[in-house]
Amino acid sequence: MIYIKTKKEIDYIRESCKIVAETLQLVKSNIKAGITTLEADRIAEDYIRSNNATPAFKGYSQGNAPGFPGSVCTSVDDEVVHGIPDNRVLKEGEIISLDVGVLKNNYFGDAAISVAVGKVSEEKQRLLEVTEKSLYVGIEAAKEGNRVHDISAAVQKFVEENNFSVVRDLCGHGVGKFLHEEPSIPNFGKRGTGAKLKNGMTLAIEPMVNQGDYQVITASDGWTVLTADGTPSAHFEHTVLINNNEPEILTVA
């Protein structure tokens, strides 16, 4: 079931999304060589809770995996998404995806950014730039009357034109009343297919882009998704409101 949100619900979602965006910018400002992913996680959790909100990912369970132990997903280099914060020390030249979810007033916000740790290679920098740009290309297609896969096709076309690949085993999703709602929003697809986009829908659009092949594997922890060929991956995400011909990005500080 695809939920169409009321104005009041959208206001609650917008509030959660603002905290998401602020948390991501705070954590980003602390990313440097020498910090651990667990330290980044603590910065995120402290800020979220200081806003009378709850980290949406902490304790979240999917499939047979145990509850996620962190407040932010910290995925480094070949880790695509769902990296678990721990004592791993970030090193110069790595890239890290930071994915944050917030629950406040019983409504969710969700977003992600990928960040360079110090100076990175030209190819990693290009991966970051193409992945972020693909998110905005997808958002441009998130208009009333379009179809879900118009978003998907736009992302795929842009990424593949730049000689990278979109992950196919994972996708974006509706968000708001629940952390994960219908519709699923893959990052590949055929224009003109999928559910019709309607005003009041709130969607988490999130390209996951690999430097090499699109295939992925899941680590033994049941959470961390990695590229099968060991190449780096990047991930950007916004929660977006379908609002006539001007999709509104809710996850802005």
Nearest Cα neighbor of 196 from 154, 151, 253 is 151
pLDDT at residue 62 above 80?
no
- Binning pLDDT at 50, 70 and 90, where does residue 52 land? very high
The domain containing residue 191 runs over which residues?
A: 7-249
Q: Is 206 part of a structural domain of the chain?
A: yes
Q: Is 1 part of a structural domain of the chain?
A: no
Mean pLDDT of 171-186: 98
Contact in structure between 69 and 4 (CB atoms under 8 Å): no
d(CA 89, CA 162): 31
d(CA 126, CA 69): 31
Contact in structure between 70 and 98 (CB atoms under 8 Å): no
Q: Is 122 part of a structural domain of the chain?
A: yes
pLDDT at residue 4 above 80?
yes
Q: Is 47 part of a structural domain of the chain?
A: yes
ω into 66 cis (within 30 of 0): no
Q: Is 2 part of a structural domain of the chain?
A: no
Q: Is 83 part of a structural domain of the chain?
A: yes
The tens digit of pLDDT for each residue in 129-153 reads 999 999 999 999 999 999 999 999 9
The tens digit of pLDDT for each residue in 82-128 reads 999 999 999 999 999 999 999 999 999 999 999 999 999 999 999 99
Q: Is 29 part of a structural domain of the chain?
A: yes
The domain total for the chain is 1
What CATH number is attached to the domain comprising 173?
3.90.230.10
Look over the chain and give the mean of its residue pLDDT values, rounded to a whole number. 97
CB atoms < 10 A from the CB of 62, how many?
Answer: 12
d(CA 15, CA 51): 10
Does the pTM surpass 0.85? The reply is yes
